[in-house]
Chain A
């Protein structure tokens, strides 16, 4: 009842581990997949190793958390071993990548494909590192070119992850429309100041807000993009239970990703949400997940 096919990738349930949360070490991804996630997205990987920002990299607030991890990653040449370990779960692993140019994205994506990932997710949306992420993802012509370059050369599906921190999400979604799917949304730019220390908590100053506080923002963009452009959408932002996931389905998402909620609920959250979705479908008379997708759009 919960299985879903995304651009040809079969998932036993529509719940994916979001990029950047517990997905750096292959053994962690493997465990989360074995505990019930339908697929896992790796941490965003670039060309060279990056240590990321010095802690504090997170600040917990009511309604979620603000992070500026700084895209720490081991570099593309050091990630294949972790992917191999994660794939021992026999579940789909999606490789998230970030870069500055179409060529850079292509070389990263081709390596990911060689490492055996089931799809790539383009991080066009990290809010806190200069020259990549949102800085690339807010330029419609660059986004279009990146997607075109990758679609022309890869065998595996390409998903584009978009930022809410742009003038028009719809314009960027349109630029990325040739992707096999859009992932909405990345974190919302934010900041926290400790009044006793009289300075921002995060070493980077500002960061990205995630968790329940951003769910209405995510729902709104999924709804708007689905209604206007009708692409395949993977919804992400603030999901903590089955009802939240269903809200995303009804706004137009075919699958969802979960990140920050792992802080509160641990990796049990995937099997719990699967159960809750199943119970809802039974009670409300849905046979297939597909019947719920976009069911809330007027």
Chain B
């Protein structure tokens, strides 16, 4: 277990905050850590800033992530990693599509050649609002309280993607599934960061598997060609007990 201290805490939205910490390891965009909150649990978190200090951006759901948000400057962080296969980086123009906390793993990819589509339920939930230094930022909200009203897939449908050398996508599976459907009919190279329950992070427990591969080890970043042929993506997954349940699309 690696340990460090929080050096800065930034409130991003009412439900999300960024924690910065010193860690001089080489981490690539798309990789994640398993962060241990003693007494509460251990959860996967993407590195949202791969420089030094590093950062994670946490949205509060259950007890572990809620507890993580209560921590402050000088509190200890415990984690292991980095884990997972990173995104393939390109020098040319790229399109980044992030929904909700999914934007956290995409943030290290953002540069002056990026167009970023970022979506949330409402304006106050838009992550990194006003902080994204990209060529072009398109805000999308379910209720139209900021930017375009709708969802990433509804915007993408009428959006020309020819000029982009790579499309990077992360967000709820329903969103990624629809985006996959649209991009499948086009020629774009694309990579998706997928999510399944992760218990071990080291490729032995099978809780994060999809189509026989372990997302903690051979993912979470998966290329579009592989995803097009997926049996489980957008259809089913295993719950904490291992019971197969439907993915809501």
Q: Which residues of A contact B (CB under 8 A)?
A: 21-25, 27-28, 30-32, 43, 49-52, 54-60, 65, 67, 69, 72-75, 78-79, 81-82, 194, 196-197, 199, 201, 203, 259-260, 262-263, 266
Per the 8 Å Cβ criterion, residues 33-83 of B in contact with A are 34, 36, 38-39, 41-43, 76, 78, 80
Known: A27-B232, A56-B42, A260-B204. A194 touches B1 (CB 8 A): yes
- For the complex, what is the distance from the CA of A161 to the CA of B161, rounded to whole Å? 57
Secondary structure of the A side of the interface?
loop
Known: A55-B42, A196-B3, A196-B78. A49 touches B241 (CB 8 A): yes
- Establish whether residues A262 and B203, one from each chain, have CB atoms under 8 Å apart when the complex forms: yes
Partner of A28, one of B201, B212, B243: B212
- For the complex, what is the distance from the CA of A65 to the CA of B205, rounded to whole Å? 12
Q: Mark B212-249, 1 if CB is under 8 A from A, else 0.
A: 11100100000000000001100000111111100000
**B156 interfacial by beta-carbon distance below 8 Å:** no
**B199 interfacial by beta-carbon distance below 8 Å:** yes
- Establish whether residues B241 and A58, one from each chain, have CB atoms under 8 Å apart when the complex forms: no
**B206 interfacial by beta-carbon distance below 8 Å:** yes
- Establish whether residues B76 and A58, one from each chain, have CB atoms under 8 Å apart when the complex forms: no
Secondary structure of the B side of the interface?
loop
- Give the Cβ gap from A137 to chain B, nearest Cβ, in Å: 22
Q: What are 15 sample pairs from A and B whose C-beta atoms fall under 8 A apart?
A: A30-B212, A54-B41, A57-B199, A57-B205, A58-B199, A59-B1, A65-B204, A67-B200, A72-B242, A73-B241, A75-B241, A196-B76, A197-B36, A201-B36, A263-B204
- For the complex, what is the distance from the CA of A56 to the CA of B198, rounded to whole Å? 10
**Chain B interface bracket (under 10, 10 to 19, 20 to 34, 35 or more):** 35 or more
- For the complex, what is the distance from the CA of A58 to the CA of B231, rounded to whole Å? 29
- Establish whether residues B207 and A24, one from each chain, have CB atoms under 8 Å apart when the complex forms: yes
Q: Mark B184-209, 1 if CB is under 8 A from A, else 0.
A: 00000000000000011111111101
- Establish whether residues A22 and B214, one from each chain, have CB atoms under 8 Å apart when the complex forms: yes
Q: Which residues of B contact A (CB under 8 A)?
A: 1, 3, 34, 36, 38-39, 41-43, 76, 78, 80, 199-207, 209-214, 217, 231-232, 238-244
- Establish whether residues A24 and B206, one from each chain, have CB atoms under 8 Å apart when the complex forms: yes
Known: A31-B212, A52-B240, A78-B244. A262 touches B204 (CB 8 A): yes
Residues in A with CB closer than 8 Å to B36 are 56, 197, 201
- Give the Cβ gap from A199 to chain B, nearest Cβ, in Å: 6
Partner of B205, one of A58, A81, A201: A58
Residues in A with CB closer than 8 Å to B231 are 27
